[in-house]
Amino acid sequence: MPTSDLVDVHAHVLPDWYVDAAKAAGHTVPDAMPGWPDWSVDAHLAMMDQVGITQSIVSISSPGVHFGDDDAGTALAVEVNDFMAGLHTAHTDRFGFFAALPLPDVDGAIAEARRTAGVPGRAGVGIESNGHGTYLGDPSLEPLWQELSAQRAVVFIHPTAPPAFDPALVGFPAPLLEYLFDTTRTIVHLATAGVLVRHPDIRFVVPHCGAVLPSMISRVELFRAAGMISGEGDLGWERLWFDLAGAPLPDQLGAFTRRFGADHLLYGSDFCFTPAGAVDMLAAMLDQGWPEEHGEWRKVVGANATNLFKDALHPAR
């Protein structure tokens, strides 16, 4: 097992009762993927030991906890968050969690953010790239940003299918392409709405090595300069944090580091939606192909995680 203080900020729990609730709400498969993966605590810990992950900050993946009904979404968020808090209690040095928020129910999201704020193991909150078509720069979310700013919260953004996604028309499951574009869409929405600058105490974590954001920023700035979109002054791009989930090598990482460097880069496995064998393979690719000018990747992302979370996490030593 490789030795490092590697913190995995993009990893998912998938208890059977959550899958049952999602299926009952019509999500028979997650975003047109072939099926729901298996997950267990023992399998998660075994993957961590194999890859050399000290601690996983777990979250719920797409489609989140809000399936169309506010009350049911709040109840499922409470159940999910209490489960993840219990996982931390049972394995204090191995698991933290991002609390699920039932967006687009803003009041319910604020209530759950407050309820979980002092819960041991909470490293921040997790939200989807859109809540039934409400993207993260929408003015309706401003009360939530005010609350999370007061908490100085880390906000982990996870992609979900865009509104009206139809795999029969697209031909692919949403995670292949739509996740990357929906992530980029919502981050640009956040930035041009001024949220990143207005709430500098919120630390937003963008998944999948920035998705396609690094190659799109110059286009956004061009449209902004031409007066075709809103946004004034510094949009706050440099305040963002990013994870390495997905397939950053051999192509994506170079474009990312040219634009953002490596100071805000974190590790992400995307387990259990990425199988343990693939997680191990991707980590080995980073071991072999990480750009040498940025230092040893495990040390870099480990130090970055320590910097981001500070006292929120207590990895085993």
Structure confidence by residue, pLDDT tens digits, 165-198:
999 888 999 999 999 999 999 999 999 999 999 9
Its domain, for residue 275, covers 6-312
The pLDDT value recorded for residue 101 is 98
Model pLDDT for residues 189-248, shown as the tens digit of each residue = 999 999 999 999 999 999 999 999 999 999 999 999 999 998 778 999 999 999 999 999
Mean pLDDT of 144-170: 96
- Give me the DSSP letters along 10-58: EEE---HHHHHHHHHTT-SSSTT-SSPPP--HHHHHHHHHHHTEEEEEE
Block residue for tokens 């996604």: 165
Whether residue 133 is contained in a domain is answered as yes
DSSP classification of residue 161 = P
Whether residue 281 is contained in a domain is answered as yes
Residues in contact with 307: Cβ distance below 8 Å, sequence separation at least 6, in sequence order? none
Mean pLDDT of 258-273: 97
Whether residue 317 is contained in a domain is answered as no
Whether residue 1 is contained in a domain is answered as no
H or E element at residue 204 = strand 203-206
| Poorest-pLDDT segment among 26-35, 187-196, 223-232, 295-304 | 223-232
Domain total in the chain = 1
Reading the block at residue 245, the tokens are 């989930």
Whether residue 132 is contained in a domain is answered as yes
* Nearest-angstrom CA–CA distance, 111 and 227: 38
Secondary structure of 114-136 as H, E, C letters: HHHCCCCCEEEEEEECEECCEEC
E-strand spans in 83-188? 95-100, 122-128, 130-131, 134-135, 154-158
- Contact, 107 vs 115, CB < 8 A? no
* Nearest-angstrom CA–CA distance, 229 and 295: 38
The Cβ of residue 207 has, within 10 Å, a number of other Cβ atoms equal to: 24
- CATH for 235: 3.20.20.140
Reading the block at residue 181, the tokens are 């574009």
H or E element at residue 243 = strand 241-243
pTM of the model: 0.96
Residue 4's pLDDT band (cuts 50, 70, 90): low
- Contact, 125 vs 101, CB < 8 A? yes
- 308 vs 48, 203, 316, CA distance in Å? 21, 8, 17
Block residue for tokens 């292949």: 176
DSSP classification of residue 264 = T
Whether residue 222 is contained in a domain is answered as yes
* Nearest-angstrom CA–CA distance, 27 and 32: 9
Block residue for tokens 């981050």: 187
* Nearest-angstrom CA–CA distance, 169 and 166: 6
Closest by CA position to 199, among listed 255, 155, 249, 140: 155
